[in-house]
Structure 1
Amino acid sequence: MKSLPTLDLAVISIYLLAMLLVGFYFSRKNKSADQFTKASGSIPGWALGISIYATFLSSNTFLGVPGKTFGTNWNAFVFSISMPLAAWIAARYFVPFYRNTGEISAYTHLEHRFGAWARTYAVICFLLTQLARMGSIFFGIALSLQALTGFSMKMIIISMGICIIIYTVLGGIEAVIWTEVVQGIVKTFGALLILYIIITNMPGGVSKIAEIGGRDGKFSLGSYLPNFKQSTFWVVLLYGFFINLNNFGMDQNYVQRYHTASSSKQAVKSIWLCVWLYVPASLLFCIIGSALYAYYNIHPELTEAIRHQVAVERLPGSASAMEIAKTAAKLKPEDYGDKVMPNFMVTKIPVGLVGLIVSAILSAAMSTISSGMNASATVFSEDIYKRYINQHITEKQNMRLLHWATTIVGIAGVCAGVAMIGVKSVLDVWWQLSGIFAGGMLGLFLLGIISKQSRNHEAFIAVVIGLLVIVWMTLSPLLPENYAALRNTLHQNMVIVIGTLTIFLTGIFITKIKRGFAPITPPVSEL
């Protein structure tokens, strides 16, 4: 079993201790649900912007994007290109809308618009999305730390889960935001440090990286052909726009932050700061992936241990050494991309700096998980418990409920992370699951905002049809060969695109049939 040097362990321990101390510090202020969920509207826009940026920059980006780039190209960066348009829509329409309602939950207005079923449906979609997000991020943490320490992935996930649950329960949203400010800075510095170390270890430096990357097409953004069956430029652009619109428009993680800002102007400022930080940061991680590809292209012998590890994980425990060797030889770069950066850290990063970079990876994970836990607890309290069980709970009971809900969500995220151990690509599994869970929710939200004439029945029918389409697109590729003609041939990233448009357009169509063909495009401000 590998073990980190004492200096690296000390750096990691200090970082984790600091996060816990932040939780204890803000626990003194958390005497009300308003403070726990909104920080009493006291967060400045610049801190909020860095906080949202840190939530976007999870370990799925820190590890998944370099791994994806190593195996393919810069296709994943197209996701970030779509962010400015989604941010403009959010700043122009969504922030004023949520700030005017004053409701902490992003989903309360759906009940006002379409009935209790719509609110509950959106809450279920959100909670499933958070479970998938936290699970993939916990898995990303374990992937790196296992390579560095040799500890089992289950032990790593459980240990990190306990730490995150403690400081999130104690500190509330204010602790989450201010730790994310620190984490956003740490993870960005860690990424720059990794790139610097790769370049200094690369024979020929930047010019050699550019030569190898250009030769093997590692800087491509994907095919520009109108092909929606593969991960082309257009598929990722559409996926990115709809996911980012969902994030900024109705993901509780972000909507809740709009209420923590001191004003609507500061909330809008935070969105744009997030965009201007995240787009270049995601490009940085693509560059890291290309640099790692060039480095291992020069030293192909260094991938032998990685390929052997992946082959062992894929084969049953009874597999022979020859079977493992044959499987390892057949593996392609996209099969082991997620394991390359942890391997580089083990072999090339000096003592002391490893601890700093591990802290950066931990911060990339902890920021997103902690915000997801707080947001999920808020949704459970507002949209489930108070709506269906007891709406007249006292402040003390509400705080206890938020603490228990945060803990339970954290435990569920840990279980999801353990369940994901062994997946091929952490970025792929997250993109696929988020597209499935978020598609229906976004379509319903847009129908409520744009079509003022649409009512309960039209929305319900549209959601049912949309869900059937999403289920078909997701599960039909598993059909046996006899039913191959019924399979969905579109890329899985198109699920959120088709699902959202199906619900929205079906709702519009049914509304027009029932209520005539008068224009139905009210301004958002009327909602």
Structure 2
Amino acid sequence: METSAFGSLNYFALLIYLAAIMGVGVYFAKRQKSADDYFKAGGRIPGWAAGFSVFATTLSSITFMSIPAKAYTDDWTFLIGQYVAIAILPIVFWFYIPFFRKLNLTSVYEYLERRFDVKMRLFGSMSFMLFHIGRIAIVTYLTALALMPFIDMNPLTIVFLIGVLCIIYTFLGGIEGVIWTDVIQGVMLSAAAILIFVVICFNVDGGIVEIFSMSAQADKYFPAEQFSWSWTESTIPVLMIGFFFASLQQFTASQDVVQRYIVTDNIEETKKALITNAKLVACVPIFFFAVGSALFAYYSQQPQLLPDNFNTGGILPFYIISQMPAGVAGLIIAAIFAASQSSISSSLNSIAACFTSDIYGKINKQTTPENNLKVGRIITVTAGLLGVAASTYLIMSNESEIWDAFNSLLGLMGGPMTGLFMLGIFFRTANAGSALAGVAASIAAVLWVRSATDLNFFFYGVIGTLMVVIVGVLTAPLFKNNKDSEIAEELTVGKRARV
């Protein structure tokens, strides 16, 4: 189908957003005096802002567009995963955060060295960095791919506006700039979802009652067959298990989220961050699914508005461009940019924090906070350019089905990291040797499952995590020494950290 004219008002609204985001980066640039400022904001971030940042970081532009498309074509079952993510937060707060704050970490993987050894720290850090460089490329690429059919903008221009400008404001403002732009972006995401739903309600004959009635008649909420067990399909029991381990990985072993726990002044502010995130996750995703139901009702009543052979994966941007008023459409497209940039900027700063702390800090023992700041900024630009270059390659080569493959690899890389933190924090007998054995067994198990079975990819993270824990506990007596016992005494829940 042909692209629609984006229009001067829409361009103006998009440029206003981009200018505002750049302004935030410039404003906070003057506060970046050391690595502590650049990676931890000097503890100046209020809890509610850190919570908004966690929410915006974990919600990418692909999620923003794919959830309505999922509700439009299928049902609401993936909503279950959002509430599973909320359920793990008490576990995170009670068992994990005390250790992260007690050790005054810059990189969360410092814990792995103190609890096990430097090999586990490097494994966790390098896995995170490689994964997130790839994630930057994929999020940028898929956002450009989703918008290309609907706006008259070159895909490389979209990549530039999302990626390069994101690099600039992250380079300037550090984590403080990233978090406050996340607040703006989180508000835009939430407001856009609510606004789109309200507008569609006015355009559907029968309004909100008819929207939910049509979805109920079509059995598009939680169909009975989705409550059955399956090893290969994403039914509700599988989603609950998969999202539990995926959320545990994000909130306990992923630098981009864990970094938000240490940017506040005290543990009470960190608690506010988790509560704020939980409130947002409880409310906002419902509107994303409701938008999908509203689009289903709208186009069921007016099917002639959809082009022949339309790819329903792009139903949301198609509606925005074709039906929303000029200017308003530009603001909502800006919200899609915001969803992409919030994820990318968090990845960039977190990659820089990991490299500076886990690699550069280990090589150069005499480094200063000022040198760490310079290195952090260099890595921010380097990682960003690698991600942009990779997304440009994907566009030029017209790759397809890459998101599913990338998601399946999360179990391969995320599962072992989650298992390492679980093993270290909960099992006092575990040690460096048994942790290494657990990681090796975990990677081998997930690789075998991916290649030899049809098991649903939600199980990859489960297998990856549990293999580290099981093998790490069972092999611990083979590698035990007195030093391991002394370390475990301080860094497991058996002797809970004070903060």
TM-score, normalised by the number of residues in structure 1: 0.86
Superposition deviation, residue 229 in structure 1: 1.5
Q: Does the Cα contact within 8 Å between 1:139 and 1:426 map onto a contact in 2?
A: no
Q: Which amino acid aligns with 2:437?
A: I
Q: Does the Cα contact within 8 Å between 1:66 and 1:288 map onto a contact in 2?
A: yes
Q: Which amino acid aligns with 1:88?
A: P
Q: Which amino acid aligns with 2:231?
A: F
Could you say which residue in structure 2 is the equivalent of 1:330?
none
- Aligned equivalents of 1:204 and 1:354: distance in 2? 24
**Residues 2-36 of structure 1, C-alpha deviations (whole Å, 9 max, x = no match):** 43221221111111011111111111111111111
- Of 393, 406, 411 in structure 1, the residue corresponding to residue 367 of structure 2 is 393
- Aligned equivalents of 1:260 and 1:399: distance in 2? 16
1:523 equivalenced with 2:498 (yes/no): no
Secondary structure of the residue that 1:438 maps to in structure 2? helix
Q: Does the Cα contact within 8 Å between 2:211 and 2:297 map onto a contact in 1?
A: yes
Could you say which residue in structure 2 is the equivalent of 1:413?
387
Q: Does the Cα contact within 8 Å between 1:110 and 1:118 map onto a contact in 2?
A: yes
After superposing the two structures, state which structure 1 stretch, 60-69 or 200-209, moved more: 200-209
Could you say which residue in structure 1 is the equivalent of 2:484?
none
1:273 equivalenced with 2:276 (yes/no): yes
- Aligned equivalents of 2:415 and 2:104: distance in 1? 25
- Aligned equivalents of 2:40 and 2:346: distance in 1? 12
CA spacing shift, 1:305–1:31, aligned 2, 3 Å: farther
Could you say which residue in structure 2 is the equivalent of 1:23?
25
Could you say which residue in structure 1 is the equivalent of 2:89?
87
Structure 1 residues 199-278: aligned runs within 5 Å: 199-220=201-222, 223-278=226-281
- Aligned equivalents of 1:524 and 1:187: distance in 2? 41
- Aligned equivalents of 2:337 and 2:51: distance in 1? 20
Secondary structure of the residue that 1:230 maps to in structure 2? coil
1:510 equivalenced with 2:485 (yes/no): no
Q: Which amino acid aligns with 2:382?
A: I
Superposition deviation, residue 466 in structure 1: 0.7
Q: Does the Cα contact within 8 Å between 2:6 and 2:321 map onto a contact in 1?
A: no
Could you say which residue in structure 2 is the equivalent of 1:120?
122
Secondary structure of the residue that 1:393 maps to in structure 2? coil
CA spacing shift, 1:425–1:45, aligned 2, 3 Å: farther
Could you say which residue in structure 2 is the equivalent of 1:488?
453
- Aligned equivalents of 2:117 and 2:478: distance in 1? 21
1:500 equivalenced with 2:465 (yes/no): yes
Could you say which residue in structure 2 is the equivalent of 1:351?
326
Could you say which residue in structure 1 is the equivalent of 2:483?
none
Could you say which residue in structure 1 is the equivalent of 2:437?
461
**Residues 40-62 of structure 1, C-alpha deviations (whole Å, 9 max, x = no match):** 00111111111211212221321
CA spacing shift, 1:339–1:526, aligned 2, 3 Å: same
Question: 5+ unaligned residues in a row in structure 2: which ranges?
Answer: 481-487
Could you say which residue in structure 2 is the equivalent of 1:179?
181
Q: Which amino acid aligns with 2:152?
A: G
Q: What percent identity do the matched residue pairs reach?
A: 31
Secondary structure of the residue that 2:306 maps to in structure 1? helix
Q: Which amino acid aligns with 1:86?
A: I
**Residues 156-196 of structure 1, C-alpha deviations (whole Å, 9 max, x = no match):** 11332111000000010111111111111111111111111
Question: 5+ unaligned residues in a row in structure 1: which ranges?
Answer: 308-335, 477-486
Structure 1 residues 128-147: aligned runs within 5 Å: 128-147=130-149
Superposition deviation, residue 144 in structure 1: 4.3
Q: Which amino acid aligns with 2:68?
A: P
- Aligned equivalents of 1:426 and 1:341: distance in 2? 21
Superposition deviation, residue 430 in structure 1: 5.7
Structure 1 residues 290-305: aligned runs within 5 Å: 290-305=293-308
- Aligned equivalents of 1:145 and 1:524: distance in 2? 51
- Aligned equivalents of 1:302 and 1:498: distance in 2? 45
Secondary structure of the residue that 1:223 maps to in structure 2? helix
Q: Does the Cα contact within 8 Å between 1:164 and 1:366 map onto a contact in 2?
A: yes
Structure 1 residues 367-378: aligned runs within 5 Å: 367-378=342-353
Q: Which amino acid aligns with 2:357?
A: E
After superposing the two structures, state which structure 1 stretch, 424-433 or 10-19, moved more: 424-433
- Aligned equivalents of 2:478 and 2:371: distance in 1? 48
1:384 equivalenced with 2:359 (yes/no): yes
- Aligned equivalents of 1:429 and 1:290: distance in 2? 28
CA spacing shift, 1:301–1:436, aligned 2, 3 Å: farther
- Aligned equivalents of 1:53 and 1:38: distance in 2? 18
- Aligned equivalents of 2:495 and 2:404: distance in 1? 37
Secondary structure of the residue that 1:126 maps to in structure 2? helix
- Aligned equivalents of 1:248 and 1:15: distance in 2? 29
Q: Does the Cα contact within 8 Å between 1:64 and 1:426 map onto a contact in 2?
A: no
Superposition deviation, residue 429 in structure 1: 5.4
- Aligned equivalents of 1:105 and 1:359: distance in 2? 31
CA spacing shift, 1:68–1:128, aligned 2, 3 Å: farther
Secondary structure of the residue that 1:75 maps to in structure 2? coil
- Aligned equivalents of 2:438 and 2:325: distance in 1? 57
**Residues 362-412 of structure 1, C-alpha deviations (whole Å, 9 max, x = no match):** 11111111111101110011111222x323223332222111100111122
- Of 434, 444, 447 in structure 2, the residue corresponding to residue 471 of structure 1 is 447
